[in-house]
A = this chain, B = another copy of it.
Amino acid sequence: MAAGHPRFPPKDPDFEARGRAGFARQTLMQTLGAEIGLVEPGHVEIVMPFAPHILQQHGFVHAGAISAIVDTACGFAAVTLMPKAVGVLTTEFKINLMSPGTGERFIAVGTVIRPGNKLTVTLGECFAETGGKRKLIAMMTASMMLVDTPGIVD
């Protein structure tokens, strides 16, 4: 997605290490069984296998688990474009859940659409993968606010 959109240069050459280290500190991601995949400037992927502990009442993966990995992909996509010692907090997101959460694993993709000095706007997608085929099941837009409070960075 986001083909025609500009690519943004990172301000911190250590963006990848910083993004991966931040992800590793997100205990919710470990709880959900999610792992970080591709980390590029303005683009991050998170992978979460289908698992029995993350479901809703019909046996689908819970919308909250899908939202959590897409929000995380969007957040770290924003982090990759931040200078050192600047982190982000999600101020809002909206997700459209287009198909139930069935599949072998779920790939959340976060892409920065517009980096900003105060707010960074991102687009998130979630694909369900089954037998090697991917289906787009959710789409998110999210705003990330820059924070440089000591202790609240990355």
On A, residues with C-beta under 8 Å from B are 1-5, 22-23, 25-28, 30-32, 52-58, 62-65, 67-69, 71-72, 75, 87, 89-100, 113-114, 116, 118-119, 121, 123, 136, 139, 141, 143, 145, 151-154
Interface of A is mostly: mixed
Residue of B nearest to A34 (CB): B64
A151 cross-chain contacts in B, Cβ below 8 A: 58
Contact A64-B62, Cβ < 8 Å, known A55-B26, A139-B113, A145-B119: no
Contact B98 A113 (CB under 8 A): yes
* Measured CA separation A23–B71 after assembly (Å): 24
Given contacts A97-B91, A136-B113, contact A57 B26 (CB under 8 A): yes
Residue of B nearest to A21 (CB): B57
Cβ B57 vs Cβ A25 within 8 A: yes
* Chain B: minimal CB distance from A107 (Å): 13
Give Cα distance in the complex from A53 to B25, angstroms: 10
18 A-B contacts, Cβ less than 8 Å apart?
A: A1-B2, A1-B4, A1-B5, A2-B3, A23-B57, A26-B57, A27-B53, A27-B55, A28-B64, A56-B72, A56-B75, A58-B152, A58-B153, A64-B64, A89-B97, A93-B94, A113-B136, A119-B145
